[in-house]
């Protein structure tokens, strides 16, 4: 099974992707994770990407396409994969079609997880991450026992640059402007299925499975 997950930043794509990856034993490919790893390791690619990510802008196509092509060519993707955070634009979708054609593969379904912007803003701007162990908290939904201190290791909690309210608003604007045409692109190909994100993660998972024809 080869799937694409669409949805604005903070719509819960990553959580659903992890579940589907385990359920179907296919790799979950998150361009965001790969880029953040490169940023953390200060690779050339990471340095280039960081300039864009810190401003809430999308990383240029040529960088992202190079990463994705390399990843889906690997052995563990032969029986399928799940793309999360890619493609984001028509140009990327067309580049992906070309890459898959070369590999003799095609996308089976595109899931679009929809969540209202105001809900996403609340989710993301309230997120806090531990500098030491990477544990994730939320000022409303999962507050730490002591403000600013990680429950897991006692490390300092901080707000990621791309979780700051102004940056989130900018990311949502960019997402809607650039990704709406993608939704139309996959709809025209008969691959798109819309899933409405629920309050509870398990309820969204049920909707996802229903969209894939699995009860």
135 is in an annotated binding site: no
Q: Name every residue whose Cβ is closer than 8 Å to that of residue 6 and which is 6 or more positions away in sequence.
A: 13, 110, 111, 112, 113, 179, 182, 183, 186
Q: Which residue of the set 2, 160, 187, 206 is catalytic?
A: 160
128 is in an annotated binding site: no
Q: Which residue of the set 50, 123, 127, 128 is catalytic?
A: 127
Q: Which residue of the set 50, 71, 88, 128 is catalytic?
A: 88
111 is in an annotated binding site: no
7 is in an annotated binding site: no
Q: Distance (Å, rounded) from C-alpha 169 to C-alpha 171?
A: 5
Q: Which residue of the set 13, 50, 71, 123 is catalytic?
A: 13
Q: Which residue of the set 50, 123, 128, 171 is catalytic?
A: 171
Q: Find tokens 């309230």 and name the residue.
A: 126
Q: Distance (Å, rounded) from C-alpha 181 to C-alpha 178?
A: 7
Backbone angles phi, psi at 206, to 5 degrees: -60, -45
Q: Is 23 a catalytic residue?
A: no
Q: Is 206 a catalytic residue?
A: no
Helices (H) and strands (E) in the chain, counts: 8, 8
13 is in an annotated binding site: yes
Secondary structure percentages of the chain, helix, strand, coil, to 5: 50, 15, 35
Q: Is 171 a catalytic residue?
A: yes
131 is in an annotated binding site: no
10 is in an annotated binding site: yes
189 is in an annotated binding site: no
188 is in an annotated binding site: no
Axis crossing angle, helix 61-72 with helix 44-53, rounded to the nearest 10? 130
150 is in an annotated binding site: yes
Q: What is the CA radius of gyration of the chain?
A: 17
Q: Is 127 a catalytic residue?
A: yes
77 is in an annotated binding site: no
80 is in an annotated binding site: no
Q: Is 189 in contact with 174 (CB distance < 8 Å)?
A: no
Q: Is 160 a catalytic residue?
A: yes
Cite the annotated binding site for ATP by residue number. 10-15, 127, 136-137, 199
Active site residues: 13, 88, 127, 160, 171
Cite the annotated binding site by residue number. 10-15, 31, 36, 57-59, 85-88, 92, 127, 130, 133, 136-137, 150, 153, 160, 171, 199
Cite the annotated binding site for Zn(2+) by residue number. 130, 133, 150, 153
Cite the annotated binding site for AMP by residue number. 31, 36, 57-59, 85-88, 92, 160, 171
């Amino acid at each position: 099974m080869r799937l694409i997950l669409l949805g604005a930043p903070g719509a819960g794509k990553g959580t659903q992707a992890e579940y589907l990856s385990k359920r179907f034993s296919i790799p979950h490919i998150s361009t965001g994770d790969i880029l953040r790893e490169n940023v953390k390791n200060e690779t050339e690619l990471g340095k280039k990407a960081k300039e864009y990510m810190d401003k809430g802008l999308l990383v240029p196509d040529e960088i992202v396409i190079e990463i994705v092509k390399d990843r889906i060519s690997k052995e563990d993707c032969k029986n399928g994969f799940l793309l999360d955070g890619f493609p984001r634009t028509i140009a990327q979708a067309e580049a992906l079609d070309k890459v898959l054609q070369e590999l003799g593969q095609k996308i089976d379904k595109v899931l679009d997880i929809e969540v209202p912007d105001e809900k996403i803003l609340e989710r993301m701007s309230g997120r806090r991450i531990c500098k030491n162990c990477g544990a994730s908290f939320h000022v409303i939904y999962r507050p730490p026992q002591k403000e600013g201190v990680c429950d897991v290791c006692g490390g300092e909690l901080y707000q990621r640059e791309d979780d700051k309210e102004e940056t989130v608003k900018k990311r949502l604007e960019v997402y809607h402007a650039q990704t709406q045409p993608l939704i139309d692109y996959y709809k025209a190909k008969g691959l798109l299925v819309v899933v409405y994100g629920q309050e509870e993660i398990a309820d969204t998972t049920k909707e996802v499975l229903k969209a894939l024809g699995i009860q």
